[in-house]
Every structure is written in C-alpha cells, then in structure tokens.
Amino acid sequence: MDLRRPRRSHAGRSRPGPLEPEPDGAVVPGPGGRLRERSLDDGGDDHRADGARRRHPAAGRHHRAAGEDRRRPARREQPDDPGAGGLRAVSRTVLVTGAAGRLGRSVVTMLRSAGSAVVAVDRAPGVVDGVQVRAADLADPHAADTVVAGCDEVIHLAAIPGPHAAPAATVFANNTAVTFRVLHAAAARGIRTAVVASSVSAYGLTFGPASFSPRYVPIDEDHPLTPYDPYGLSKQVDEHTAAMIARSTGLTVVAPRFGWIATRDMVAERVRQVAADPGAGKSVRELWGYVELGDAARACVAALDVRDGHHSVNVLAPDSLSTTPTAQLVARFHPSTRIRAGLTGTASAWSGDRAARLLGLGSMWSWRDADALEGTVSTADREVPAGGESHEAKGES
C-alpha cells in the first residue's frame, strides 16, 4: 500500500504525504489530569467558521499532559526516526483487536512499520504482515484480560461493523460487551491509552430512515447522536463505556468516529456512482463522506499519543465524494438541514476540526489527487475548490 500519495488536510491543499476476562484486580483511579480536548461530558467545542480546506491552526499540535503517569511503563520514543506514514517510531507493544479485519490489518502493518510490537487478536485466526493473529472471542469473559497482559496500549477495532451482518441483538451484545471487557481489562492492567473504533453511524444517518437528516452541517462532535439501529447504538454505548472508564480509572480513551472506510479502489468506484447519481446508494445517507483506509489506520496510531480523558472525534477525508458543491447537495437531499457558515466548495459535510487539533492528522488522502479516476471525472471537475478559488492561488499548504 502506498502511503506516500499526495494528501489534503481538512484545512489545506494537496501536498506530498509523509505519510477484550473480567479482571480480578481492583481498578486504580488515575491522575485526573487536565483535558486537552472537551469530551462527551463537557459538550465539546466550537464549530469552525472558516474554509474547510485551510490548514487548521491547531493541526499538528502535540497532545501530551505535562505529568506522566508513573503507574504506567515509559514508552521509548525515537523522535528522529519518523517511521512509516510519518509517524514517530516508538518501541512499544500494542494490542490490536479485530486485527484480521479490513482496518485491523492496515493498523498492524502501520504499527510494525513504525517499530512497534503488536499483539494481534481476532475471532478469525491468520497472519497479518508476519504477525500471527491470536484466535480469541473477546466476548469470552477471560479472553480480554489474557490478551491485554503485557501490552502498553490498545487499539480496539473488533466489532460486527454493521446492523445486518448478524441478528440485531447479537450485533449490539457483541460490540458493547467486547468493548467493555477490553477497556475494563486495559484499565485494570494500567494501560495508558486505548483507541476504540466508533462510527458516524452513531449520529443516526447511515442506517436511519430515509427521511432522517442531520440538524446542521458540517456535523461536528456536538451534533446529537440519535441512532436508529443496533450497530449505531452499539457505537454510542461504546463511547459512553469509554467515558465511564476514563472517568473512573484515568485510562485515556479516544473514539474515532470513522466515516465509510475504503480503499482507494473502493473510493474510485463510489465516486463514479455519485457522479452518475448523487442521490443513489449510501452516499446520500453518509453525506458523501469517506476516509481512506490508510488515513483511518493513521488516525488510530496517532490517537495513541493523546493523554487524559475521553474523546470522540470525527475522522473523515476533508472533501466529499462529489464534484457538486456540498451545500448544494445538502440543500437538495436534506432540505431541513441548516447549512452553517464555512461549508464551501466540495468540502466535507463532516467537521474535521477536532481531529486536526487532537490527532494532528494534517493532510489526508483525497480521491481528487488520485490517478484511479483518470478518464472518469475530468481534471477540472476534480479541482472544484472550497471557496471557489484554487488552493494554489491561496498559497495554502
């Protein structure tokens, strides 16, 4: 996978890319340090009012609390060795659950490239990038504690990723039980940071009724979560589980709310569909949002650097899948939705402000930079810019 393709930021133009048994032990309260980012409990933060393609001033800021928790093992960082994807090489052991899945495989590869040791776990056994995947059903009361032992950090991706892949009660019970067990075991073991894959489905759009529209766009993390299906509900509950465990134990938990996670080929195919009919398929329900697989993996790894609290954060590409201005699409397909200032050009209908500040993701891959669509969407169409002028003209980076 080429992770060094040109990338775009939620605020900037393209540029070369650098790229869960219940533990017996008592859970020890954590240090309760200052939150760097508002969390579920404190109502989040303000909506950005400037253009979605300008580089956010907070992008790339380092998020680490001043005090280091002495209960937890020090991580051995090598800042001069950036590792794959522009991530700092860090010697640590990371538990990746759902490691045999689409996102899990990509995360394992990225961590390995950055020099981290990986404990890969999934119900489905296998080998990912030379790492043996340990077969375990994390809904089993003892499995989570066993696999967490010896790890410094956790990236928890194991889930049934939709409402229709299993009976409704199974989707809900599996996802929520596994998340609780993994986070509870992680906190009991003194792990510093856990990442839990959430989803924009928790807002209610993806699997809600056709009549459902968001209150406003761009949707930021303050937008109400009103899921209509067991999967979206499981993600909402996962986030509350994360908040409770962070509050009561000091485990830092970051919950990226991913949009549709797709390979570049998958994105190319969806762009063609949207070009033919922007109202067809799932795109209209997902507000034409997407996130490239490598960027989703990068967000997971970057989230391991967050210190203190619990954080829900949208993670999507900074642009839409369409060449039609996003405000026009929203006005046509979601007429009751309020369009806030700042939704310009083909910028994403999903706010990436918090991701920029919290994760420092900076530029992300956009299909507009890709070769995959040669001959399908004209170059001129790809370059419909946010705000009506070219990024180059603005001198953005």
Ligand X SMILES: NC(=O)c1ccc[n+]([C@@H]2O[C@H](COP(=O)([O-])OP(=O)(O)OC[C@H]3O[C@@H](n4cnc5c(N)ncnc54)[C@H](O)[C@@H]3O)[C@@H](O)[C@H]2O)c1
Q: Which residues bind ligand X (CB under 6 A)?
A: 98, 100-104, 122-124, 137-139, 157-161, 174, 178, 197, 199, 258, 260-261
Alpha helix positions (H), the chain: 102-113, 143-148, 168-188, 230-249, 264-276, 293-303, 326-333, 353-359, 379-382, 391-394
Q: Which is nearer to ligand X, 126 or 279 (CB)?
A: 126
Q: How far is the CB of 82 from ligand X (least distance, A)?
A: 26
Q: How far is the CB of 338 from ligand X (least distance, A)?
A: 25
Q: How far is the CB of 385 from ligand X (least distance, A)?
A: 27
Q: Which is nearer to ligand X, 40 or 171 (CB)?
A: 171
Q: Which is nearer to ligand X, 319 or 396 (CB)?
A: 319
Q: Which is nearer to ligand X, 48 or 235 (CB)?
A: 235
Q: Which residues pair with 117 in a beta bridge?
A: 93
Q: Which is nearer to ligand X, 13 or 123 (CB)?
A: 123
User: How far apart are alpha carbons 300 and 155 in whole angstroms?
Assistant: 7
Amino acid at 280: A
Shortest Cβ contact with ligand X: which residue? 101
Closest C-alpha among 151, 146, 148, 155 to residue 101: 155
| Cis status, amide bond into 218, omega within 30 of 0 | yes
Q: Which is nearer to ligand X, 52 or 267 (CB)?
A: 267
Q: How far is the CB of 117 from ligand X (least distance, A)?
A: 20
Q: Which is nearer to ligand X, 299 or 370 (CB)?
A: 299
Phi-psi region of 259 (alpha: psi -120 to 50; beta: other; left: phi over 0): beta
Q: Which residues pair with 255 in a beta bridge?
A: 312
- Please give the angle made by the CA atoms of 57, 59 and 62, to the nearest 5 degrees: 115
Decide if 333 contacts 201 (C-beta within 8 A): no
Structure tokens at 91: 């010697």
Q: How far is the CB of 74 from ligand X (least distance, A)?
A: 29
Q: How far is the CB of 310 from ligand X (least distance, A)?
A: 17
Q: Which is nearer to ligand X, 159 or 359 (CB)?
A: 159
Q: Which is nearer to ligand X, 177 or 327 (CB)?
A: 177
Q: How far is the CB of 194 from ligand X (least distance, A)?
A: 13
Q: Dihedral of CA 196/202/205/206: which sign?
A: positive
In this structure, what DSSP letter does residue 255 have?
Answer: E
Report the SS3 class of residue 34: coil
Decide if 339 contacts 349 (C-beta within 8 A): no
Closest C-alpha among 137, 208, 224 to residue 178: 137
Report the SS3 class of residue 344: coil
Q: How far is the CB of 211 from ligand X (least distance, A)?
A: 23
User: How far apart are alpha carbons 324 and 328 in whole angstroms?
Assistant: 7
Q: How far is the CB of 19 from ligand X (least distance, A)?
A: 20
